[in-house]
Structure 1
Amino acid sequence: MPALFHAPMQTLGKARECGDIVRLHLGSERIYLLNSPEFIRRVQVTEADSFDRGRIFEKARMFVGQGLVTTDGAFHLRQRRIMQPLFHRDRVIRHVDVMRERTARMVATWRPGQRLSLDHAATDLALAILTDSIFRSDIGPATMRGVRDSLPTVNGGVLTRALLPDWWQRVPTPGNLRFARARVRLRAAVDAGIEARKASGARPDDLLSALLDARHPDSGEPMSDQQLRDEVITILMAGTETTANTLNWLFYELGRDAGIERRLHAELDSALGGRPVTADDLARLPYLERVIDETTRLYSPVWFLMRRLTAPVDFGGVRLPVGAQVVYSSTALHRDPGIFPDPMRFDPDRWDPERSGRTPRAAFIPFAAGRHRCLGESFAKAEMAVVVATIAAEWRLCHGRRRLRERALGTLRPSTLHFTARPRTRPIC
């Protein structure tokens, strides 16, 4: 456990050398680490019926409700069928204007030579984009402020409380009290937003309207108010920190390789010609897409997942019983040199379709696969593309090129790194 906490990816890399399935001792508990792409695919796709989400997600459900990320079985399938149309590409592109305008509003405050703490700025930006995409701006500043002030505390505290013993959450520590207050405030703010929308009868083109209008494809039933709240909170939590961390890693890698940065700038200049990015432009930015894919390969948004067996499963001669827990890491898989040659090299061209020996997509699972594949993948990739295009069209984010330390919490975060904002007209950082 200490090794996983202090050096998670190094520990998982060493464990990979032990074989395709490795038994780990976490305190008094034994879990099984899966390193084989075949085994991981069986868990996520081909034998998914033999697994549920396990104890961590059950405990997380106590804090964030019955949203799509924490549920299982028939209920999860029902909710997924209701919500899937909300994240089709034709609906996602409706939010591109919000993504661009929020990003433009942020960079308008920058000045040449300004020092930026991008981890905070990216988190604030991702949260602002999501709240605007869900609620637009018609629910009142107090409700919006309630969401934005409370969500980071809730988001940062759920995994910790899911991993700690049940009795710990009842101890009145400052952290527990802060988390409890933030959780109450977040639920109240989301409830107020839903009630205000229903009372107004308005249906602006946002995610909340889509959720209110969504119906089960078989029964035609809408979601209850409580389920609406749980799904809104789930979207907010799932789409803030993951996107912000990916943007941090992406600009960090751009700052380390001037050649990659120049190619990205050249593509943006050619495709946009100095005008703001639009939804139609996203398909005309293939190199930017490869940069995003390479960032999510090397720094997957969620670095590990756990599942529990609901039926016995044999993994290469190792038969695990009902109740056994398996864990796997998309980040560790993406750094396997047997699958991704020179895995620690940031190389967007490994995703070039014309490159010989192209890396197989089946081993690339930054947003998971199968029934629990992230519904927000299209939204997240569009958001990252719009944010990067808007910033990189005018600015370079420079840093000292030192190696960042990886902090594995709910997501794989970078240690704090300050960037200096330089106009593109200045060729050297």
Structure 2
Amino acid sequence: MGESAATSAPVASGRVPLLGHGIQMLHHPLPFLQRQRDRGEVVKIFLGTRPAYVINSPELIHRVLVADADRFDRGRLFQKASALVGHGLATSDGPFHLRQRRIMQPAFGRLQVRTYATDMNAEVRRLVDSWKPGQVVNVSQDMGELALSVTATALFRAEIGKQAVQEVHRWLPVIVAGLLPRVVAPDGWERVPTPGNRRFTEARRRLRAIVEDVIESYRVSAGNQRDDLLSALLTARYDDTGEPMSAEQLRDEVITILMSGTETTASALSWMFHQLAENPEVERRMHAELDTVLAGRAVTHADIERLDYTGQVLRETLRRHSPLWFVMRRTTGPVDLAGVRIPVGSQVIYSLAALHRDPAVFAAPMVFDPDRWAPGRPVPDRQAFQPFSSGRHKCIGESFAWAEMTIAAATVAARWRLRPVPGRRIRERTLATLRPSTLLMIAEPRFATTAAPTTN
């Protein structure tokens, strides 16, 4: 079908010659995407001179991700991201993606995640033990470093892996900040030697070199078995050939895990502590549950299913502040969406953050209400709440992320109450995930002593 077949889709307002809607997507992308709900289920925008189609209903998103998934591939966002992670699970597609998912799935199974819980707890306790009463804590920074440390510890237990973590801490934020501008900018912009592009290129080079060094060290010491993700991936074999992953593919998967395992968790935990401070009754109920269930001891993996209200708080955080705020797919053939004929090769955009804030889907969507998820309340449509995506590209690390978030939330909130610094306004930052701006909070101990909980 030609481009003229899709003219029934309304065009978003504010288009600028040559730049299209790129300026709005760079500076205020989420409000821009949210405004498109009022224009229809499918709205046409322009990224530069390239047309793209924003879809605005859970039914259409479900079609793209699940029902008609074979009519779409990853799209421009993941094409640009592949410059960093190569053909990792987050950017690959088709039969190759399925093959990678099968070889990696055992490393992220429920039983395997249990083995990481002790290390998760240790990393969180190391952080909260460093806080002092009355200290101003940079929560967004601390949660980012915590999430990266937890992910890196699960990946690498060898000493060289621990040494590499500091370099990963240094370079990963540069890559995260540089990804969105590369998506909305004209093709070829990444080759212009701007300071930002030079930083991105150097960060990519350094991160790849770090990971390759760790993998090579593990290969050389193959006889030293370690109970970590990298060892599991090194020993995994493809069903069809019995061969292991190549060194290059393994590097791509490790970088993918580092990036995806850090961003979503850090974002969710940061927003959760912000919302607890803004909603005292929610905080009181969560603290009461932690005091009852944990009774002063350290949280374990077995506690995750017992911390019902804490789980509701985390679900509401993921709804209200959905980390996956911007996703793209590309049509592999003509597709009809809500009566609009989308041509082959078109970029289709959806925002889970906009969906989760749609008043037609969630009543009073800007109200932080964990009781939406309480037993006995109507269960939200599964198509309408999908914080880890859905279908063939659903996040392979969902169980890992839930365990990490619950253990971190419970460990911190059992011992500390975080209060906002007066006079500071918290804004949303649309990076790879929906992160808060610098979130400074005052650490107040909940009890007279801040001694670590017992592990008995």
Q: Does 1:353 align with 2:362?
A: no
- Listed as ranges, the matches of 1:34-113 within 5 Å are 34-113=55-134
Quick one: structure 1 residues 141 and 48, their matched pair in 2 at CA, closer, same or farther if it must change by over 3 Å? Answer: closer
Structure 2 residues not aligned, in runs of 5+:
1-20, 449-456
* TM-score, reference length from structure 1: 0.95
Secondary structure of residue in 1 paired with 2:417: strand
4+ residue runs over 6 A deviation: none
Number of equivalenced pairs: 425
Q: Does 1:410 align with 2:432?
A: yes
Structure 1 residue 166, shift from structure 2 partner: 4.4
2:311 aligns with one of 267, 289, 297: 289
Structure 1 residue 376, shift from structure 2 partner: 1.1
Structure 1 residues not aligned, in runs of 5+:
none
- Listed as ranges, the matches of 1:263-342 within 5 Å are 263-342=285-364
Q: Is the 8 A contact 1:276 1:390 kept in 2?
A: yes
The 10-residue stretch of structure 1 (210-219 or 42-51) with the greater mean CA deviation from structure 2: 210-219
CA distance in 2, matches of 1:140, 1:70: 24
2:236 aligns with one of 207, 214, 228: 214
1:229 aligns with one of 251, 254, 257: 251
Quick one: structure 1 residues 397 and 362, their matched pair in 2 at CA, closer, same or farther if it must change by over 3 Å? Answer: same
Which residue is 2:181 aligned to? 160
CA distance in 1, matches of 2:193, 2:100: 35
Which residue is 1:238 aligned to? 260
Q: Does 1:200 align with 2:218?
A: no
Which residue is 2:6 aligned to? none
Q: Does 1:185 align with 2:206?
A: yes
Structure 1 residue 20, shift from structure 2 partner: 1.1
Which residue is 1:136 aligned to? 157
Which residue is 2:12 aligned to? none
CA distance in 2, matches of 1:106, 1:85: 30
Which residue is 1:425 aligned to? 447
Structure 1 residue 148, shift from structure 2 partner: 2.7
CA distance in 2, matches of 1:144, 1:342: 41
CA distance in 1, matches of 2:368, 2:61: 24
Structure 1 residue 190, shift from structure 2 partner: 0.8
* TM-score, reference length from structure 2: 0.89
Secondary structure of residue in 1 paired with 2:51: strand
Which residue identity does 2:354 align to in structure 1? A
Which residue identity does 1:126 align to in structure 2? A
Structure 1 residue 108, shift from structure 2 partner: 0.9
CA distance in 1, matches of 2:393, 2:184: 21
CA distance in 1, matches of 2:206, 2:31: 38
CA distance in 1, matches of 2:348, 2:294: 46
**How much identity, in percent, do the aligned residues show?**
53
Structure 1 residue 419, shift from structure 2 partner: 0.2
1:258 aligns with one of 280, 286, 308: 280
Structure 1 residue 402, shift from structure 2 partner: 6.3
Q: Does 1:123 align with 2:117?
A: no
The 10-residue stretch of structure 1 (145-154 or 118-127) with the greater mean CA deviation from structure 2: 145-154
CA distance in 1, matches of 2:66, 2:409: 32
CA distance in 1, matches of 2:59, 2:186: 33
Structure 1 residue 213, shift from structure 2 partner: 1.3
Structure 1 residue 54, shift from structure 2 partner: 1.3
Which residue is 1:379 aligned to? 400
Q: Does 1:174 align with 2:218?
A: no
Structure 1 residue 401, shift from structure 2 partner: 8.6
Secondary structure of residue in 1 paired with 2:299: coil
Secondary structure of residue in 1 paired with 2:39: coil
2:385 aligns with one of 364, 384, 398: 364
Quick one: structure 1 residues 136 and 73, their matched pair in 2 at CA, closer, same or farther if it must change by over 3 Å? Answer: same
Which residue is 1:147 aligned to? 168
Q: Is the 8 A contact 1:63 1:158 kept in 2?
A: no
CA distance in 1, matches of 2:187, 2:25: 22
CA distance in 1, matches of 2:188, 2:331: 26
Q: Is the 8 A contact 1:367 1:373 kept in 2?
A: yes
Which residue identity does 1:72 align to in structure 2? D
CA distance in 2, matches of 1:359, 1:44: 18
Secondary structure of residue in 2 paired with 1:392: helix
Q: Deviations over 1:359-380 (max 9, x none)?
A: 2222101111000111111111
Q: Deviations over 1:140-174 (max 9, x none)?
A: 65433333322222233233334434433333333
Which residue is 2:18 aligned to? none
Q: Is the 8 A contact 1:268 1:393 kept in 2?
A: yes
Structure 1 residue 394, shift from structure 2 partner: 0.5
CA distance in 1, matches of 2:31, 2:161: 47
Quick one: structure 1 residues 127 and 11, their matched pair in 2 at CA, closer, same or farther if it must change by over 3 Å? Answer: same
CA distance in 1, matches of 2:66, 2:263: 26
